[in-house]
A and B are shown apart, each in its own frame.
Chain A
Amino acid sequence: MTDSQRRIKVLLGKPGLDGHDQGAKVVARAMMDAGFEVIYTGLRQTPEQIARIALEEDVDVISLSSMAGSHLPFCRKLKPLLEADGLTDKLWVIGGNLPAQDHAALRELGFKGIFPSGSKLDAICDYIRKEVK
């Protein structure tokens, strides 16, 4: 990356009520070490909060860390908000405890990058670097 290139800016959100943030914080650190600018939201974000931060911060990547099984209802609410804010050209990524049977539904909701438990930190960062042009 040359100095003239903008650093990749990533929103990393913890959606819903779950407090298991070890994974999110580990991924946030990996993204920082990869040279990304990371905006970590902290716990208990609503879809509205995530959409607002994504818009205000003008991020390249909107990523979520979900561990407690409410990823589908949350993403169903988030999608129209991101669309209304014109954020469909951003890269939407989700990681965490995401059963394989839900991946197709998440893709349909616009989440292009899906990183279930067991994903490697470098794989997540490499993917983001490749997808954000």
Chain B
Amino acid sequence: MKKVINESGIEVKPLYTAADVEASGGMEMVGEPGQYPFTRGIHRDMYRKQPWTMRQYAGFGNPADTNQRFKYLIANGQTGLNVAFDLPTQIGLDSDDPLAEGEIGRVGMSIDTLRDFEIAFDGIDLKKITVSLTINGAAAILIAMYLAMAEKRGYDVKELRGTAQNDILKEFIGRGTWIFPVEPSIRLVGDTIEYCATHAPKYTPVSVCGYHIRESGATPAQEMAYAFSIAKAYADDAIKRGLSVDEFAGRLSYNFNIFGNIFEQVCKFRAGRSLWAKIMKEEYGAEKPGSMWLRMIAAGGGGGLTFEQPEVNIVRGAYYALISALSGTQTMALCSYDEAYTIPTEYSARISLRTMQLLVEEMGLAETVDPLAGSFYVETMTNEMRKKMEEIMAETDAQGGIVKMVSEGTIQAKVSSQAYLMQRKIESGEFPKVGVNCYRNEQEEDHPVEFHPYNEADAQVQIDNLKRTRAERDNTRVDAALSRLRQDAAAGRNVMPALVEAVKAYASVGEMTKELVNVFGRYQEPIRF
């Protein structure tokens, strides 16, 4: 019989029995849902009480275009928003920056000032619909902008829920929207955690992303292990500032990827939940259960979807959603079937949304907590995945820790090397991929993909709006706010109060970023193979 090793490097047997569960460590870490170590879920009743939040990634063009898409998704039953920003916004450039030319509104919506946020979220009830901002390099600025927008709309910021991605360490590993060097970047994450702990205690300032590390070539076990090492780096920074773990850990969240072997994925999440709880309790001395919870979005990843036979991605997406439901996630999202080509159309985004809704309404996935528990295979693999993650975290520490490895580019080199080897395995057929290296269509038919239109004229509208805002705002107030921002950054004070003030004065993302770059400098990418 052929030996099977899963992507994480664990051998998969043809049959599991009670003896395998025992040999792998038994049922000791399984426990009850809602109780430490939370293997079976962070809440007792899980989806019976409330199904997962459905939060498709969306955003393009001007804030007005995106506002329309948000409303379309909400009208179709989406229960949260996940905001996509264009690249200039993500790396802190204004729309009229020469480097932004050709990129405005292309992969997400363009945001220059608070005015744009007012338009983007106009008419959306921020109490009912929680908003997740996919922003990293410029996260401190956009968090300040979101809080200011909500406050201006009359919401009590102390009660405001929402999430920012704000995981800069993974951005150095994959995705690449960094701005500042590693150390000040971590400091900015710490500033947001510290600020939110007192000013917006229900807001989640960080969502640590294994997702993009996996997309960059990490295995499922590495995805979760590296994410935990990164989260610990942020936690250590917060503790250095004098916060107690229970003051901030309950507002940390995670973003994980789903593609590949169903059981490896489900066990990854079950194992990860108990490992994170153990880390927080035993290493950090957390006492509140909320500080030990692995709160997460588990999203069907683009890395599993194929350019070939794109309609088959609808089926892949359905399996990914199933995995996500079986994994006990709090929030779910799916890459749409056409995402290897283009920004999803309304049509493809709706198919993704319906896929998730089917599981709740027709398939019984929201009825019973952790339905795979007790399976010899699942419990054994959960134990083995946990051990694998612990090994990887220990290796990372032995090599000087995640911050050092990211700074030197060694993690980047490791995952990109793995991505290369995986691509070779796919091209040789060793790693099967339907439609790519097996079951190919001999005659490639026209792909049933409709391209998202990019309107070049939209960029000029955005630039004109920015110029109008600059002309209409109180520029003395802006200058004073920017000057305070520069001083606070240079003095090592938390920059969030100054950012909130600058945002309220309608300072632009580019203006605020420039002040911070003047103090912090810019990141220089280490290139290693």
Contacts and interface: CB of A to CB of B under 8 A. Distances in A.
Contacts of B436: 118
Contacts of A25: 416, 419-420, 529
B424 interface: yes
B175 interface: yes
Contact of B423 (A18, A70, A121): A121
Nearest to B216: A22
B106 A70 contact: yes
Given A73-B102, A117-B341, 14 more contacts: A16-B103, A18-B107, A20-B174, A20-B175, A21-B416, A25-B420, A29-B417, A30-B423, A40-B529, A42-B525, A44-B91, A68-B87, A69-B454, A118-B307
A30 B417 CA distance: 10
A97 B525 CA distance: 23
A70 B176 contact: no
A43 interface: yes
A1 interface: no
A101 interface: yes
Interface in A13-39: 16-22, 25-26, 28-30, 32
A101 B420 CA distance: 28
Contact of A121 (B171, B416, B427): B427
B151 interface: no
B489 to A, nearest CB: 23
A30 B420 contact: yes
Contacts of A70: 102-103, 106
Contacts of A117: 307, 340-341
B82 interface: no
A122 interface: yes
Interface of B: 87-88, 90-91, 93, 99-103, 106-107, 171, 174-178, 215-217, 306-308, 340-342, 416-417, 419-420, 423-424, 427, 436, 451, 454, 525, 527, 529
Contacts of B529: 25, 28-29, 32, 40
B106 A22 contact: no
B527 to A, nearest CB: 5
A41 B436 CA distance: 29
A26 B88 contact: no
A30 B91 CA distance: 30
Contacts of B307: 116-118
B420 A26 contact: yes
Which A-B residue pairs are the 6 nearest by beta carbons?
A19-B176, A73-B102, A17-B87, A118-B307, A25-B416, A29-B420
A111 B341 CA distance: 20
A53 B178 CA distance: 23
Interface string A95-133: 001010100000000000000111011100000000000
Contacts of A32: 529
From A20, A116, A117, name the one whose CB has the most chain B CB atoms within 10 angstroms.
A20
Contact of A17 (B91, B306, B341, B419): B91
Contacts of B427: 120-122
Contacts of A72: 102
Contacts of B90: 17
A99 B342 contact: yes
A20 B419 CA distance: 13
A74 B102 contact: yes
B412 to A, nearest CB: 8
Contact of A26 (B93, B103, B308, B423): B423
B174 A22 contact: yes
Q: Which residue among A25, A70, A97 has the maximum number of chain B CB atoms within 10 Å of its CB?
A: A25
Contacts of B107: 18, 68-69
Looking at B102, B178, B417, the one whose CB has the most chain A CB atoms below 10 A away is B102
A26 B174 CA distance: 13
A19 B212 CA distance: 11
Contact of B175 (A19, A44, A121): A19
Contacts of B177: 19
A68 B420 contact: no
A17 B99 contact: yes
B416 A97 contact: no
Nearest to A14: B176
25 contacts: A16-B87, A16-B102, A17-B90, A17-B91, A17-B103, A18-B176, A21-B174, A22-B416, A22-B419, A25-B529, A26-B416, A26-B419, A26-B420, A29-B529, A30-B420, A42-B527, A43-B176, A68-B106, A68-B107, A69-B107, A70-B106, A99-B342, A118-B307, A118-B436, A122-B427
